[in-house]
A and B are shown apart, each in its own frame.
Chain A
């Protein structure tokens, strides 16, 4: 469970880092960028909140 959460949060952070670059190189629209950043934000904070509630294995 914790591994899955770590993977999701890592992916969220990766999206936050890469999406602006995709926009910069014309591979992503402005609306797409905003949506991806929003989804990544929800993923990052969502997994953090769940991780707080999951007991350490």
Chain B
């Protein structure tokens, strides 16, 4: 999933406050490779097995992922890409014109912190691979929320510190490394799947992916559809990928997201899920407790697998820490870039020590999308509908505001209700980004329309 967050080929800090010039535009080839690499990340090793832990059935997984990923691709192609290529601005710059600088600071803070927690999950995944040669290190299971011991804590701190230092010093190197590693990592995912099928003695996925007896079905068809469609909600309907697709020469480059969705979020997830199926059947592992990804991948393909898990976590965590640093710097402008990255890396490392984020990744990405995606609806209304419906476009820039209260209400009213439903009433978080996004767009439209009407009547009076 999670590119989320990793825009490794994005030139950092270029054209941040201006339209991307024509000579900087890129053809579709750049985007297909980038999306394929970004969505084959360390966290894919967690998500596949988590579906099994949630008792998903074969057809729900296979068809649900097919449909959900298609929805995600369509969102990138028909919502994100047209806005990005039309405006050729970053999300942050566009938001500033709509929301005002002070409100964007709040968005940056939320964005930065959530990035840190996501990078922390990648540290956790990498630590499960680093720990394989150390049999005395107790690995966390799906139900572990707290560190499992001193050895685990030290491993996570060392990995987190290294990632942070590289993010401060060597972003360009990691970006190149990420691009180089992507095709190889994908093939290792596939190798894990093929080896596991051979060991299980069957290629009948519908039989293999049956939930283990006694595993409660916590996710059904629509759960899989909504999860796969909106685990990257912050990126597509949330418009964070404006920062990338603004470089696209044509809107059709939005189709490139299909590479990430169907290689990373389909093939890789199913291959990773098969690993836990094998451990459940051959070693009697409890699917609800799980097996650390490092151990499963090492068992399937050996040292190449361990390197794959570490690189997959590292190449995606580093840009995430870097971006979290930029977001935190936006919120705390007195910090230097290095200080902000250090702060982000420290939060990420602490989060990585606690397996809670990685082991609850399905819920976490839903919360992530619920909080950040609705802001994208404000941009969609401003870009597609504002002029048609008589709303002021870029209201903060137009009226010289630093804080647009309409956006704050439109953003946090549905998000607050969504979080209350999720934490208070157990509604799965992956169902929430879309309704919150729609509600945010509608509330923003109504509030801005009222304001425009009252401004117009005040002017005429």
Chain A residues with CB under 8 Å of chain B are: 12-13, 16-17, 19-21, 23-24, 30, 33-35, 37-38, 40-41, 44-45, 48, 52
Instruction: Give, as a whole number of angstroms, the nearest-CB distance from B173 to chain A.
Output: 9
Interface size range of chain B in the complex: 10 to 19
CB-CB under 8 A from A34, the residues of chain B are: 301-304
Q: Could you count the A-B residue pairs with CB atoms below 8 Å apart for me: how many are there?
A: 55
- Let me know if B180 and A20 touch, CB within 8 A: no
- Let me know if A23 and B198 touch, CB within 8 A: yes
- Let me know if B195 and A33 touch, CB within 8 A: yes
Fill in one digit per residue for B283-302: 1 if any A CB lies within 8 Å of its CB, else 0.
00000000000000000011
Interface of B (DSSP majority class)? helix
Beyond A34-B304, A37-B304, is A20–B191 a contact (Cβ under 8 Å)? yes
Beyond A23-B198, A24-B197, is A37–B188 a contact (Cβ under 8 Å)? yes
- Let me know if A41 and B187 touch, CB within 8 A: no
- Let me know if A41 and B190 touch, CB within 8 A: no
Instruction: Give, as a whole number of angstroms, the nearest-CB distance from A55 to chain B.
Output: 16
- Let me know if B195 and A20 touch, CB within 8 A: yes
- Let me know if A17 and B301 touch, CB within 8 A: no
- Let me know if B190 and A20 touch, CB within 8 A: yes
- Let me know if B194 and A48 touch, CB within 8 A: no
Beyond A13-B184, A24-B197, is A37–B191 a contact (Cβ under 8 Å)? yes
Fill in one digit per residue for B167-189: 1 if any A CB lies within 8 Å of its CB, else 0.
00000000010001101100110
CB-CB under 8 A from A24, the residues of chain B are: 194-195, 197-198
Complex Cα–Cα for A45 and B315 (A): 14
Partner of B183, one of A13, A23, A33, A41: A13
* Given A21-B194, A34-B302, A44-B180, 10 other A-B residues pairs in contact with their CB atoms under 8 A: A13-B183, A17-B190, A20-B190, A34-B303, A37-B191, A37-B301, A37-B305, A41-B184, A41-B304, A52-B176
Complex Cα–Cα for A16 and B188 (A): 7
Ranked nearest first, the 8 interchain pairs of A and B with the lowest CB-CB distance are A34-B302, A37-B304, A20-B194, A20-B191, A16-B187, A48-B180, A41-B304, A24-B198
- Let me know if B187 and A23 touch, CB within 8 A: no
CB-CB under 8 A from A16, the residues of chain B are: 184, 187-188, 191, 304
Instruction: Give, as a whole number of angstroms, the nearest-CB distance from B315 to chain A.
Output: 12
Chain B residue at smallest Cβ distance from A47:
B180
CB-CB under 8 A from A20, the residues of chain B are: 190-191, 194-195, 301
Instruction: Give, as a whole number of angstroms, the nearest-CB distance from A32 to chain B.
Output: 11
